[in-house]
Amino acid sequence: MDTGTHIVMGIALGGLATVDPVVQSDPTLFHAVLVGTIIGSHAPDFDTIFKLKNNATYIRHHRGLSHSIPAIILWGLLISGIIHFFVPETSFLHLWLWTALAVVIHVFVDLFNAYGTQAFRPFSNKWIAYGFINTFDPYIFLLNVVGVLAWALGAHPGYTWMTIYTVIVLYYIKRYMDKREIVKKINEYYPDTIQIATSPTLKQNYWRVAITTEDRFYVGTAINGHIEIVDEYTKVPLPDLPIMDVAKEDNNVASFLNFSPVYRWEINEYDHFTEVRFIDLRYRSKEYYPFVAVVKIDEKMNIMSSYTGWIFSEHKLQRKLFVEDYSL
């Protein structure tokens, strides 16, 4: 989920903590728990700091180790331990339980969007992305905001949040059923399907889909249950070529390949260099594929420049790849 949703969910969990008699009876503990749930609800995304280094590092690590099983345990202990240092008179057990729950919920809800997480590390490095909740879902966000406002106006926090989260659970079930229906229809059309990647949008009845069969990729939309294919590509394995070996050694390309399960590639030759491009097929928007990895390689097999990340026009991409005064 996005940062705003994680924060309001942290506030919500702090309110729900008042159903715990120990938290309810101790104002100091309640405030400590509220701080813990807000920080814990965002803590796994502290790996965003990797973006300060470069996109490749960020893409390789975001929602990776920081969302793993060991990290979930450590985040809860670290955050509650620091808070307890300042309020040692409070119950560490109850502070830790609610803070750890906030961390667990953060990682849990991240499993359901198209980006996903490596939540099962160290047992598996596989990206888990169930793809039926948008990274920012306005309904989930607004329900949490309504809960916060109701609480601020004097509503009982325990009852308020139990009601809100009952509705949210039902909403998750509804979205899961929506996805299941889409997947069922796709399997009827393409019985040799190997993989289906779904990506919900802000519109409830509008989904992006990327379909992998034995020999082709299909990219399309699902609108009100109707599947429309908008692009089709032949599935071609990566060639055993020296230039492709050089491309795969590039940091940006390696990060892309580590993250993207559904992509196509192309090699474009120019006068003084060759461009190798990898294109993620899951996020098509306005006839453009914004998540890419591109590397420019000169005639001597040296990498001139490369980039990976989200880019929404070819002009901006080429600006990222521009090498000033490059001598050939």
Q: 128 and 17 in one domain?
A: yes
> 166 lies in a domain?
yes
Q: d(Cα 307, Cα 322) in Å, to the nearest integer?
A: 10
> 222 lies in a domain?
no
> 275 lies in a domain?
yes
Q: 127 and 30 in one domain?
A: yes
Q: 261 and 133 in one domain?
A: no
Q: 147 and 10 in one domain?
A: yes
Location of structure tokens 């099962």: 120
Q: 169 and 261 in one domain?
A: no
Q: Please tell me the predicted confidence (pLDDT) of residue 326.
A: 45
Q: What are the C-alpha distances in Å from 136 to residues 3, 161, 201? A: 9, 20, 9
Q: What is the phi/psi pair of residue 221, to 5°?
A: -130, 155
Among 131, 147, 174, give the residue marking a domain's end.
174
Q: Please tell me the predicted confidence (pLDDT) of residue 47.
A: 86
Q: 56 and 162 in one domain?
A: yes
Question: 27-42 and 92-110 helices cross at what angle (nearest 10)?
Answer: 30
Q: 259 and 169 in one domain?
A: no
Q: What are the C-alpha distances in Å from 249 to residues 85, 171, 245, 316? A: 46, 43, 7, 24
> 13 lies in a domain?
yes
Q: Please tell me the predicted confidence (pLDDT) of residue 322.
A: 73
> 181 lies in a domain?
no
**C-beta separation of 283 from 291 below 8 A:** yes
Among 126, 155, 174, give the residue marking a domain's end.
174
* Of 292, 205, 223, 304, residue with least CA distance to 257: 292
Please list the pLDDT of the chain residue by residue as tens digits (328 residues): 888 999 999 999 999 999 999 999 999 999 999 999 999 999 999 988 888 888 888 887 788 889 999 999 999 999 999 999 999 999 999 999 999 999 999 999 999 988 888 899 999 888 889 999 999 999 999 999 999 999 989 998 888 988 999 999 999 999 999 999 999 999 999 999 999 999 999 998 999 999 999 999 999 999 998 999 999 999 999 999 999 999 999 999 999 998 888 999 999 999 889 999 999 999 998 888 999 999 999 999 999 999 999 988 888 888 888 754 444 4
Give per-residue burial for 129-140: e unless 16+ CB within 10 Å, then b: bebbbbeebeeb
Q: 159 and 71 in one domain?
A: yes
Q: 262 and 163 in one domain?
A: no
Q: 254 and 155 in one domain?
A: no
* Of 190, 285, 218, residue with least CA distance to 209: 218
Q: d(Cα 61, Cα 281) in Å, to the nearest integer?
A: 21
> 305 lies in a domain?
yes
Q: Please tell me the predicted confidence (pLDDT) of residue 325.
A: 40
> 218 lies in a domain?
no
Q: Please tell me the predicted confidence (pLDDT) of residue 80.
A: 97
Is residue 276 helix, strand or coil? Answer: strand
Indicate the number of domains in the chain.
2
Q: Is 302 exposed, middle or buried (0-12, 13-18, 19+ CB in 10 A)?
A: exposed
Q: d(Cα 47, Cα 64) in Å, to the nearest integer?
A: 9
> What's the domain range around 247?
242-321
Q: 152 and 298 in one domain?
A: no
**Which residues partner with 292 through β-bridges?**
279, 309
**Per the structure block, which two tokens stand in for 244?**
């492709």
What pTM did the predictor assign?
0.86
Location of structure tokens 């070529």: 241
Among 126, 154, 174, give the residue marking a domain's end.
174
Q: How many residues does the chain have?
A: 328
Q: Amino acid identity, residue 262?
A: V
Q: Please tell me the predicted confidence (pLDDT) of residue 59.
A: 83
**C-beta separation of 199 from 114 below 8 A:** yes
> 137 lies in a domain?
yes
Sheet of 291-298: strand order equals 263-269, 273-280, 291-298, 303-310
Q: 154 and 37 in one domain?
A: yes
Q: d(Cα 218, Cα 232) in Å, to the nearest integer?
A: 5
Q: Please tell me the predicted confidence (pLDDT) of residue 323.
A: 56
